[in-house]
Amino acid sequence: MAVKLRLTRMGNKKRAFYRIIAINSEARREGRPLDYLGFYNPMVDPAEVKIDNDKVQKWLDRGAEPTDTVRALLKKNAK
């Protein structure tokens, strides 16, 4: 079972925000996550990103692969 760190869409129509989750790579976008790691809200200026770095590091140590978008958010949050 390959685990991915990816975004899941939440919110209303045209008012989306995203949760960063750890999930089986074969699960659908709205599938049941293994763990909630943070959120990303692009609707505010500047975009709001909150990530639990301890949980992210735990999943990365277990071999989880972040998607390109999540990798960019992690990089931006590390600064």
Interval 39-54 mean pLDDT: 94
- CATH architecture for residues 3-78: 2-Layer Sandwich (3.30)
Q: Per-residue pLDDT for 1 more than 70?
A: no
Dihedral of CA 14/33/55/79: which sign? negative
Going by C-beta distance under 8 Å and a sequence separation of 6 or more, which residues neighbour residue 78? none
Which of 27-31, 48-52, 65-69 comes out lowest in average pLDDT? 27-31
Per-residue pLDDT, averaged over 50-77, amounts to 95
Share of the chain above pLDDT 70, in %: 99
Amino acid at 2: A
The most distant pair of C-alpha atoms in the chain lies apart, rounded to whole Å, by: 37
Q: Where are the domains of the chain?
A: 3-78
